Amino acid sequence: MLKKVLITLFVIGIVVESINLLIFHNDGSANALVQSSEFYEIDPRFREFYQGLGGEPVLGRGISPKFYDDLGREYQYVVSALLVYDHKAPEGQRFRLASIGQELNIEEPAQPAPEDPTILFRNGHYIYGPFVQVFNDFGGPAVVGEPLADPIYDPARGITIQYFENLGFYRKENDSNTGVQLLYYGVWKCGSSCSYVPQNIEGNVDLYLNNEIGFEKTADDLPKKITGHQLTEVQKGSDGLYEQVFENLVLVADPLIPGKITLRPLTTILGYTHDPLQKPVSDPKSYFFPVRNGWGYQVRDVIIDTIEPYGGLDFTGFPISEMKEKKAGLMEQCFENVCIEYSPYAIFNKIRLEPLGREYYSRFYGTSDEARVFIPLILKNITKTQNNPVTTISTSQSSNDDLSIYTWTSQTLISSKDQQIIGIGVYQEGVPVPNVKVKVFVKMPDGKLADYSPKETKQDGRTFLALDPIDALNGTRIVYQACIIEDQKESGCTEEDFLIWGN
């Protein structure tokens, strides 16, 4: 468990002036953020502590009265934090901020420390450049706590977010007026017990960005032959629902119903027509699904056997057509959420889902250029086999004879003026492997593939590659691949990307 660090008033007192200059000034007052008038005066117990951290312009106003726990500790919620007074703690350590961030259950694998000494790296995560000064001015981990994850970019709100144990930071891109602001940790933790409703939703704690509502688990439960390649990260759609687009389907979730993941009805959205309803027929190789008044569609057993492990009709939705010939040797049947192709004469892969997700992506996300297709920014473990490398999204150890290759970047969001550093680590059962040759391939915005040969891995199993600044528009994803080289051939490979932003 990450340690909980107590703060001292001495540390707080020396940073107040800097914090007030850097943290949010929305009209100079938290009043500019509210719809509800349900505020509370800061209790005298916390007043000096609260003002020492910057007071209302920094933490927001009080949204609860002071209250106690069974041990006699005192608490009060403010918009961005939970103030704590522990009378049993040592003198000078009695005031602190509660570790609300730990309750978010954010789980992100720690990365190896970068060699670049200018990067602030703590607890296995680097701190986003624009957040570094605020982190230090607050007093570092003594006040803010340790980072729980790398920075996250939320394209729906146009902000970069980073979660820490006690506070959360966010910054609106290309906005120098407001600077770094605090996430509404206090609002999130207090929930319905506090009647405060922020008007400015940018600071809301949004766990969808961390896949905590189940997108990641749902995607892991569906094999790639079902979903196809992932095309986007989790983001909010125009209807307020969160979605993640794959080649063959689109996962969707309602923020008001955490944990429930369904599929978008792509055939309806994309304008597919419904076949006329049919009367049931006796067919030992199919099952009749009634839709209305005893009329419906036949679905063949081979289709039912394919979709049953993933929830059957809960997964596909009801059929909207009969099985019909699409072309010679290829049959097709569409459901509310997916369309399925059936090749009765094929030896392998008789069943496959059609790429409706890519059609949805092209229609609603614009370009389908590969340079803009999303590849998850998480560590990938590459297990070598005698034939072809197998890519798995995992951080588990491989077998005794296997090497694992990991990559990371100094910045997940980088401008066209800055130099990107790619780190590569090679391990065997968690032990660094030195003197390994690697090669890095980078797909440039013009579609050309650049290849690089960094130095062999050092004793710590790592090596680094410095890329020249890449001239590209904001939002362009740069995909890169790192491969182990054995006998002058590429062996295990891993693929990642980073985003051009901040131009």
Would you say residue 26 has pLDDT above 80?
Answer: no
CA 26, 31, 34, 38 torsion-angle sign: positive
Backbone conformation region of residue 492, classed left if phi is above 0, alpha if psi is from -120 to 50, else beta: beta
- Strands 95-97, 250-253: pairing kind: unpaired
Q: What is the mean pLDDT of the chain?
A: 76
pLDDT at 176: 63
422 forms beta bridges with 409, 465
| Range in 171-185, 279-293, 377-391, 447-461 with the lowest mean pLDDT | 377-391
Alpha carbons 472 and 463: distance in angstroms, whole number: 26
Helix ranges, 211-265 (H): 215-221, 224-227
| Token pair for 499 | 């985003």
Name every residue whose Cβ is closer than 8 Å to that of residue 74 and which is 6 or more positions away in sequence: 43, 45, 46, 66, 67, 68, 84, 85, 87
Amino acid at 319: P
Q: Any idea which architecture 370-500 has in CATH? A: Sandwich (2.60)
The pLDDT > 90 percentage for the chain reads 26
Do 213 and 112 contact (CB within 8 A), yes or no?
Answer: no
CB 305 within 8 A of CB 312: no
pLDDT tens-place string over residues 410-436 = 776 788 888 888 888 887 766 778 898
> Has residue 101 got a pLDDT over 60?
yes
H or E segment to which residue 487 belongs? none
Residue type, 468: D
Determine the Cα–Cα distance for residues 92 and 201; give it in Å rounded to an integer: 35
In angstroms, the CA 30 to CA 49 distance is 18
Of the CA atoms within 13 Å of residue 114, those in its CB half-sphere come to 22
pLDDT (0 to 100) of residue 372: 33
> Distance between CA 74 and CA 213 in Å, rounded?
32
Q: How sure is the predictor about 213, in pLDDT bands with cuts at 50, 70 and 90?
A: very low
Those residues with Cβ within 8 angstroms of residue 347's Cβ, 6 or more apart along the chain or in another chain: none
pTM of the model: 0.43
In one-letter notation, the amino acid at residue 95 is F
The pLDDT score that the predictor gives to residue 235 is: 77
**Residue ranges per structural domain of the chain:** 9-207, 213-368, 370-500
Provide the token pair at 265.
């009805």
User: How does DSSP classify residue 276?
Assistant: P
What is the pLDDT, as a whole number, of residue 47? Answer: 94
Sign of CA dihedral 254, 260, 263, 265: negative
The continuous run of DSSP H or E covering 174 comes out as none
Tokens matching residue 240: 């307020």
Burial of 247 (0-12, 13-18, 19+ CB in 10 A): buried
Are 289 and 313 within 8 A, CB to CB? yes
CA 480 to chain centre: 19
Q: What is the pLDDT of residue 177?
A: 62
Can you tell me whether residue 278 is helix, strand or coil?
Answer: strand
Secondary structure (H, E, C), 99-118? CHHHHHCCCCCCCCCCCCCC
At 74 the pLDDT is: 92
204: which DSSP letter? S
Average pLDDT over residues 226-250: 82
CA distance 381 to 223: 17
Residue 290: strand, helix, or coil: strand
At 461, is the secondary structure helix, strand, or coil? coil
For residue 283, give both structure tokens: 């067919």
Q: Is 92 left (phi over 0), alpha (psi -120 to 50) or beta?
A: left
pLDDT of residue 215: 67
Helix boundaries (H) for 143-260: 185-190, 215-221, 224-227
Q: Where are the alpha helices (DSSP H) in 178-265?
A: 185-190, 215-221, 224-227
Please report the pLDDT score of residue 362 as a whole number. 83
What is the SS3 assignment for 323-389?
CEEEECCEEEEEECCCEEEECCCCCCCCEEECCHHHHHHHHHCCCCCHHHCCCCCCCCEEECCCCCC
Which run of H or of E encompasses 265? none
* Per-residue pLDDT band at 217 (split at 50, 70, 90): low
Q: Among the ranges 186-200, 260-274, 357-371, 380-394, which has the highest mean pLDDT value?
A: 260-274
* Distance separating alpha carbons of residues 31 and 35, to the nearest angstrom: 9
Q: Is the pLDDT of residue 300 over 70?
A: yes
Strand partners, 125: 122
Residue 369 — very low, low, confident or very high, per pLDDT cuts 50/70/90? Answer: very low
Q: What is the pLDDT of residue 6?
A: 29
pLDDT at residue 400 greater than cutoff 70: no
Averaged pLDDT for residues 456-477: 85
CB contact at 8 A, 249 and 230? no
Place of tokens 């007192």: 13
Please state, in angstroms and rounded to a whole number, the distance separating the CA atoms of residues 495 and 427: 17
